[in-house]
């Protein structure tokens, strides 16, 4: 038994996968996982879908844990407040200080909030199971709900709230929903699919005030329109949970900058970062390191980070191979299944290659030099498999 200790801060999917990978790569020392939520790691994607619709609990959503991590020490319900890299310590909100030999940063992101004047009772965000349960309690049939933001989470909540019987208004500055990854045409087609189910979009608009005394009773849009509502969901993007890392000279300009082994750049101390918070280089995006907030990235980065840290804990060099993971996401809205591989967001141009925008379809996305950089399909999960294979082959060749 190795007498070293690895501390993982952030008890989410990335933290769990890093622990499993440490064990799979031969680390036999102590692993301590610190989390600010009271719960062991659980699956977040259902929070805007099934968990919101039918109130699934932690037992339904908790990740199955491998036997190899059965001996992990859990410190839950305690946020980490500070990191001291020189002394290799993490401080917790309750004053406890934990020493480490190696560290995994896995604290993810939180919803961004707009500085909108007015009361905040009735204002919701969606990141945790607690958030999902609170929002579910607030949604009532035939009553208005206003969602600010028309990205994936905003649109998924719009679909689920409609299925729960609410009258849904989506307010967004964008000209079409989900336009960033999808582009204008597929975004417009998703808007039409939502509209056909009763969702009302207020596009090119933002909310300029929440009205009411203690509790929100209506919102005013920037064109003066007033929408009566007692429930508002802000889903306008995220900020990274990096504050506890301040003062250590790390690059925290957009998450935590790591190298291709997930090792944090700017320190000799063995520290890696995983999941939504890690800004990493990748074979598919050679131009600059990226943060990718997709469900498969905590697993991919967690696997790599665990291998890196296990090597460092054993005084060995991490494997030098490039990081060659394929970004992938899915989204379920009403009975439409969206699936994507690669990086369609930021493409130079796109073309529809199968079906049409009103039904099942596949859209290919290209870089300016004509290279396929991503694909999105609606209700074409099986048909997209050859694209997945093609990307995987490309990754294997270039890594
Ligand atoms: C509502 C919702 C729906 C989603 N749907 C999809 C989907 O359909 N498809 C898809 O591909 N992806 C989806 N995602 C994204 C996916 O769930 C995330 O990419 C994934 O959960 C990221 O894992 P992570 O481990 O990096 O971060 P997280 O799972 O967020 O874990 C980080 C943990 O660290 C904790 N933490 C933060 N600060 C501290 C601190 N200072 N001290 C201790 N602990 C701290 C956080 O509370 C959290 O528990 C969805 C996400 C949400 C929220």
CATH code where residue 351 lies: 3.30.390.30
Q: Please determine, for residue 399, whether its predicted confidence score (pLDDT) is greater than 80.
A: no
Confidence of residue 9 (pLDDT cuts 50, 70, 90): very high
The domain that contains 173 carries what CATH number? Answer: 3.50.50.60
Residue 39 CA, closest ligand 1 atom number: 49
Residue 71 falls inside a structural domain: yes
* pLDDT at 50 (0 to 100): 93
Check residue 381 and give its pLDDT: 95
Distance 221 CA to ligand 1 centre (A): 30
Query: Is residue 157 predicted with pLDDT exceeding 90?
Result: yes
Q: How does pLDDT run across 326-337, given as a tens digit for each residue?
A: 999 999 999 999
Q: Is the pLDDT of residue 1 over 70?
A: no
**Is the distance from the beta carbon of residue 12 to the nearest atom of ligand 1 less than 6 Å?**
yes
Residues 283 and 45: their CA atoms lie apart, in Å, by: 26
Distance 196 CA to ligand 1 centre (A): 31
Tell which atom from ligand 1 comes closest to the C-alpha of 109: 30
Same domain for 140 and 278? no
pTM above 0.95, yes or no: yes
Indicate whether 183 and 169 sit together in one domain. Answer: yes
- For the cut 90, the answer to whether the pLDDT of residue 122 exceeds it is yes
pLDDT value at position 398? 81
Q: Are residues 170 and 218 in the same domain?
A: yes
On whether residue 326 sits in a domain, the answer given is: no
Q: Is the CB of 154 within 6 Å of ligand 1? A: no
Q: Which two tokens stand for residue 264?
A: 């944090």
What is the average pLDDT score of the chain? 97
**Least confident range of 45-49, 142-146, 312-316, 342-346:** 342-346
Of 258, 373, 235, 317, the C-alpha closest to 14 is 258
Contact indicator for 291, 277 with CB cutoff of 8 Å: yes
Domain boundary among 199, 234, 269: 234
pLDDT score of 346: 83
Residue 315's nearest CA partner among 86, 16, 29 is 29
Report CA(42)–ligand 1 centroid distance (Å).
Answer: 9
Instruction: Please give the average per-residue pLDDT across 90-96, as a whole number.
Output: 98
Structural domain contains residue 230 = yes
132 and 60 co-located in one domain: no
* Beta carbons within 8 Å of 113's beta carbon, 6+ residues apart: 125, 234, 236
Residues in the chain: 399
* Residue carrying structure tokens 């506890």: 244
- Say if strands 109-111 and 102-105 run parallel, antiparallel, or are unpaired: unpaired
Q: Clarify whether residues 105 and 246 are in a common domain.
A: yes
Q: Is 273 inside any structural domain?
A: yes
**For the residues 147-171, what does the mean pLDDT come to?**
98
Q: Which atom of ligand 1 is nearest to the CA of 46?
A: 3
Q: Which atom of ligand 1 is nearest to the CA of 293?
A: 19
- With respect to residue 174, please indicate whether it lies within any of the assigned structural domains: yes
Distance CA 45, CA 204 (A): 27
Asked if 137 and 199 sit in the same domain, the reply is yes
Is 329 inside any structural domain?
Answer: no
Q: Mark whether 247 and 106 lie in a shared domain.
A: yes
pLDDT-above-70 percentage for the chain? 99
When pLDDT is averaged across residues 288-300 and rounded to a whole number, the result is 96
Tally of structural domains, the chain: 3
Residue 315: which pLDDT band, with cuts at 50, 70 and 90?
A: very high
Q: How far is the CA of 126 from the centre of ligand 1 (A)?
A: 10
Which residues face 350 on adjacent strands?
365
**Closest atom, ligand 1, to C-alpha of 157:** 1
Domain termination residue (choose one: 175, 208, 234) = 234
> Ligand 1 centroid to 251 CA: how many Å?
21
Q: How far is the CA of 379 from the centre of ligand 1 (A)?
A: 26
Instruction: Tell me whether residue 318 is in a domain.
Output: no
Ligand 1 pocket: which of 39, 45, 305 to mutate (most atoms <8 Å of CB)?
45
One domain, residues 106 and 129: no
Say if residue 70 is in the same domain as residue 154. no
Q: Do 24 and 89 have their domain in common? A: yes
State whether the beta carbon of 285 lies less than 6 angstroms from ligand 1: no
Return the pLDDT at 2.
Answer: 74
Gap from CA of 44 to ligand 1 centroid (Å): 6
Q: Is 310 in the pocket of ligand 1 (CB under 6 A)?
A: no
Of 216, 234, 252, the residue at which a domain comes to its end is 234
Pick the residue whose CA is nearest to atom 30 on ligand 1: 108
Q: Report the phi/psi class of residue 199: left, alpha or beta, with left for phi > 0 and alpha for psi in -120 to 50.
A: beta
Average pLDDT over residues 137-150: 98
- 271-292 average pLDDT score: 95
Mean pLDDT score, 275-296: 94
Average pLDDT of 158-176?
Answer: 98
> Would you say residue 310 has pLDDT above 90?
yes
Contacting residues for 86 by C-beta, under 8 A, at least 6 apart: none
Residue 11 lies in a domain: yes
Q: Which domain holds residue 229?
A: 113-234
Indicate if 265 and 308 belong to the same structural domain. yes
* Residue 27 scores a pLDDT above 70: yes
Note whether 226 and 243 are same-domain residues: no
- From CA 78, how far away is CA 190, in angstroms rounded? 40
């Amino acid at each position: 038994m190795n007498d070293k200790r690895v501390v993982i801060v952030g008890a989410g999917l990335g933290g769990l996968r890093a622990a499993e990978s440490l064990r799979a790569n031969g680390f036999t020392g102590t692993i301590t996982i610190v989390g600010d939520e009271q719960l062991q790691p659980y699956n977040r994607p259902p929070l805007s879908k099934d968990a919101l619709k039918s109130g699934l609990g932690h037992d339904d959503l908790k990740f199955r844990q491998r036997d190899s991590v059965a001996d992990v020490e859990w410190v839950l319900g305690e946020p980490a407040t500070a990191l001291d890299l020189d002394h290799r310590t993490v401080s917790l909100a309750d004053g406890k200080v934990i020493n480490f030999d190696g560290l995994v940063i896995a604290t993810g992101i939180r919803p961004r909030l707009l500085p909108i004047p007015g009361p905040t009772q009735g204002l919701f965000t969606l990141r945790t199971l607690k958030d999902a349960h609170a929002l579910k309690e607030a949604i009532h049939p035939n009553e208005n709900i206003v969602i600010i933001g028309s990205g994936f989470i905003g649109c998924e909540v719009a679909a689920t709230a409609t299925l729960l019987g609410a009258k849904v208004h989506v307010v967004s500055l964008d000209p079409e929903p989900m336009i960033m990854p999808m582009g204008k045409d597929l975004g417009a087609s998703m808007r039409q699919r939502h509209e056909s189910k009763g969702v009302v979009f207020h596009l090119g608009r933002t909310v300029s005030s929440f009205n009411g005394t203690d509790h929100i009773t209506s919102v005013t849009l920037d064109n003066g329109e007033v929408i009566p509502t007692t429930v508002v969901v802000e889903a306008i993007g995220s900020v990274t949970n990096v504050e506890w890392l301040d003062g250590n000279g790390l690059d925290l300009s957009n998450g935590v900058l790591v190298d291709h082994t997930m090792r944090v750049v700017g320190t000799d101390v063995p520290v890696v970062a995983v999941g939504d918070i890690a800004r990493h280089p990748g074979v598919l995006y050679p131009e600059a390191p990226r943060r990718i907030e997709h469900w498969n990235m905590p697993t991919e980065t967690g696997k790599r980070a665990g291998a890196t840290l296990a090597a460092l804990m054993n005084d060995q060099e991490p494997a030098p191979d490039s990081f060659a993971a394929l970004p992938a996401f899915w989204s379920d809205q009403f009975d439409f299944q969206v699936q994507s591989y690669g990086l369609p967001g930021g493409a130079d141009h796109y073309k529809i290659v199968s079906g049409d925008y009103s039904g099942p379809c596949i859209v290919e996305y290209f870089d300016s030099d004509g290279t396929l950089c991503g694909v999105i399909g609606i209700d074409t999960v099986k048909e997209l498999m050859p694209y997945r294979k093609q990307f995987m082959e490309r990754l294997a060749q270039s890594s």
